[in-house]
Chains A and B, each alone.
Chain A
Amino acid sequence: ETGVTQSPTHLIKTRGQQVTLRCSSQSGHNTVSWYQQALGQGPQFIFQYYREEENGRGNFPPRFSGLQFPNYSSELNVNALELDDSALYLCASSPADRAYEQYFGPGTRLTVT
């Protein structure tokens, strides 16, 4: 059974640029959630996707957007990058009948300079 995978592992962007992060959910999981983890902090919920629809959103501005595809993989897009967007971005997938069980990928470390 393949776990949650994310790409890229690391990337460096300049303030004002746009970035797309990708996530493949664990086999059999149809719900994907995205979190931002700043250094020394716990993950903060960005949003969740279920059946290709946004199913909940945390306290993040609209420049954070996402997509879920028919194969349940997902993308996180961030526009107009700010220095404070530097963080570890985590994707988590859940099985349909146990959405509270969230299994995380290794994350993408984004640095904004």
Chain B
Amino acid sequence: QKEVEQDPGPLSVPEGAIVSLNCTYSNSAFQYFMWYRQYSRKGPELLMYTYSSGNKEDGRFTAQVDKSSKYISLFIRDSQPSDSATYLCAMRGSNSGYALNFGKGTSLLVTP
């Protein structure tokens, strides 16, 4: 079992929809949770990060962490065609060095 599981999709939604992207993990030592966006043939772009449990909002993006369920989510409101990309979750512990453990990524397509 991989430490971080993420449904690869693809996920296709109409423009304006609310998108929900999720990851589960098995390592209870993970404390930092990140979401990256990766366009085709580009490097990952850091969207948001959260420490421990709770919610964090930034514009149209909301990140949620539920450590009791080992489950994290990224919500995108009013989705746009420019949001079409692969979304990667990543996480790391406090005492495990600074290596990020990534999911496989979910491919999102927002259609006009």
Contacts and interface: CB of A to CB of B under 8 A. Distances in A.
Interface of A: 4, 6, 31, 33, 35, 40-45, 48, 55-56, 58, 90, 94, 99-107, 109
Interface of B: 4, 6, 8, 32, 34, 36, 41-46, 49, 88, 90, 92, 97-105
A103 B46 contact: yes
Contacts of B105: 41-42
Contacts of A56: 97-99
Contacts of A43: 44, 88, 100, 102
B37 to A, nearest CB: 11
A105 B43 contact: yes
Nearest to B42: A106
Contacts of B100: 33, 35, 43, 45, 102
A15 to B, nearest CB: 24
Contacts of B44: 43, 90, 104
B45 A48 contact: no
A112 B66 CA distance: 41
Nearest to B6: A42
A102 B100 CA distance: 9
A42 B34 CA distance: 13
Nearest to B32: A100
18 contacts: A42-B88, A42-B102, A42-B103, A43-B88, A43-B100, A45-B99, A45-B100, A48-B97, A55-B97, A56-B99, A99-B98, A100-B49, A102-B98, A104-B36, A104-B43, A105-B43, A106-B43, A109-B41
A6 B6 CA distance: 28
A99 B100 CA distance: 11
Contacts of A94: 98
B98 A55 contact: yes
B93 to A, nearest CB: 10
B46 to A, nearest CB: 6
